[in-house]
Structure 1
């Protein structure tokens, strides 16, 4: 539940910030007349995201066991790829997001009416579809479906409230710090989802080695214990992973964490250097 709550909170806050930037800029331009088109695009994006979640939830029931495992494993790995891309994209572009959206909105306002609808759809739809896919993968990997869905809903609801308060100027948060720490957490969650996806493909016979565990930590972390349940629910921890699952989990975790820390650290150094250059211009 906690993992899905943070997924919903982060993705919802991203979408909420984007909507707030677009609405505020249209108000600044004095083009409130095109706001309905923007809301139409956002509404379509929400409906598509809900439809994606529904298809993922009920679509595979008519498939064979092997087909379900192949679909589940493949979509879990796809979800990991999308959420990893999202984490790095936000880490690199968070500070330029406002300027980029303003440029796109200027082009859309100057173009046809459908351009505003498309901009609203694309801006929110990407986060919505990513959220639906990753939450489905997280729930499908062993979480309680009801609790996972409730957690995601509460996260999205919280993000809507925070986004509105930020838009109205009532709340200020350090978005860089927020996206950094939630990014680190989601990398840990994504590593577990990746291991689960590998396990699904092994059960389907696509990847060999599904019958031999690399090690067994059940005597240290019993799956039925409260902490074993928490680790399984939040990070998709399994006490007896196969070698393919363990290697994929470890390699993904090490490589992604190192790259993310380097990206965030490099971005902060660049921002600090720019600030110092402004404060102490060279004559």
Structure 2
């Protein structure tokens, strides 16, 4: 539940902030007549994201055991690739995303109603598709549906409330610190899902080493204990971990976390205060 709540909070806040930036731009420029088109695009993006999640679930249920393991393992690796790209992408564009969205919406308005709907759908849909794939992989790794779904919905709900409060100026959030902290946590969540995906592929016979364990701490950390469930739910920790799983987990965390925490080079020239951080601090 906690791991999926983090996914919902992080992805939901990104999507909610995108919507808030678009809405604030239209309100401030006295173009409220365009708001229904933006909301229509947002609704389409949400519908497509839900449809992708349902399609993945139905596809997985219709497969044989070996095919399920192959499908789930492959999708877990794809999901980790998505979330890794998203973490670094948000760090790179957070300072300019607000101006880019406003510029894109300005061009879309000039092109016509359909362009506005499509622009809003694409802006939110990217986050939605990433969330769908990553959430599906996380649910498969957790081995259940109720807990992860509840956690995910809680995270989405909190993200919407936060975005609204930021929009109204009630809450001032340091977006740089927020995305850094959640990014670090997501690295460990993604590492667990990656290890789970590798285990699936081992069970499917596509990767070797299923019976070669790096460690077995099931006697110390029972899978059905509260702390075992907590570790499983947040980090996808398995008391019985194969050597390949352990190696993949360690390499992913070592490489991705090091690159993520390394301070990116920034140009010496000052930027205009139109970035996402400024939006969050000034009232959208």
Compute the TM-score of the two structures, normalised by the length of structure 1. 0.91
Task: Tell me how far 1:274 sits from its aligned partner.
Answer: 4.8
The answer for the alignment partner of 1:99 in structure 2 is: 99
For 2:220 and 2:91, the matched residues in 1 are separated by 36
Task: Tell me how far 1:143 sits from its aligned partner.
Answer: 4.5
* Secondary structure in 1 matching 2:162: helix
Task: Tell me how far 1:225 sits from its aligned partner.
Answer: 2.7
The answer for the alignment partner of 1:215 in structure 2 is: 215
* Secondary structure in 2 matching 1:223: coil
CA RMSD of the aligned region, Å?
1.6
Unmatched runs of 5 consecutive residues or more in structure 1 = 277-283
Is contact 1:143-1:233 (8 Å) kept?
no
Task: Tell me how far 1:59 sits from its aligned partner.
Answer: 2.5
* Secondary structure in 2 matching 1:9: helix
The answer for the alignment partner of 2:255 in structure 1 is: 255
Task: Tell me how far 1:37 sits from its aligned partner.
Answer: 1.3
Unmatched runs of 5 consecutive residues or more in structure 2 = 272-284
Match of 2:264 among 263, 266, 271: 266
Deviation string, structure 1 residues 47-80 (Cα, Å, up to 9, x no partner)? 0111111112232212111111111001000000
Task: Tell me how far 1:105 sits from its aligned partner.
Answer: 1.0
For 1:132 and 1:178, the matched residues in 2 are separated by 22
Q: What stretches of structure 1 move > 4 A for 4+ residues in a row?
A: 273-276
For 1:58 and 1:130, the matched residues in 2 are separated by 18
The answer for the alignment partner of 2:226 in structure 1 is: 226
Task: Tell me how far 1:246 sits from its aligned partner.
Answer: 1.1
Q: Which structure has greater helix proportion? A: 1
Residue 181 of structure 1 pairs with residue 194 of structure 2: no
Is contact 1:38-1:116 (8 Å) kept?
yes
For 1:143 and 1:257, the matched residues in 2 are separated by 26
The answer for the alignment partner of 1:111 in structure 2 is: 111
For 2:163 and 2:212, the matched residues in 1 are separated by 48
Compute the TM-score of the two structures, normalised by the length of structure 2. 0.91
The answer for the alignment partner of 1:141 in structure 2 is: 141
For 2:210 and 2:123, the matched residues in 1 are separated by 40
Q: Across the two proteins, how many residue pairs are aligned to each other?
A: 271
For 1:13 and 1:215, the matched residues in 2 are separated by 38
For 1:143 and 1:15, the matched residues in 2 are separated by 27
The answer for the alignment partner of 1:43 in structure 2 is: 43
Task: Tell me how far 1:213 sits from its aligned partner.
Answer: 1.2
Task: Tell me how far 1:177 sits from its aligned partner.
Answer: 0.6
Is contact 2:142-2:148 (8 Å) kept?
no
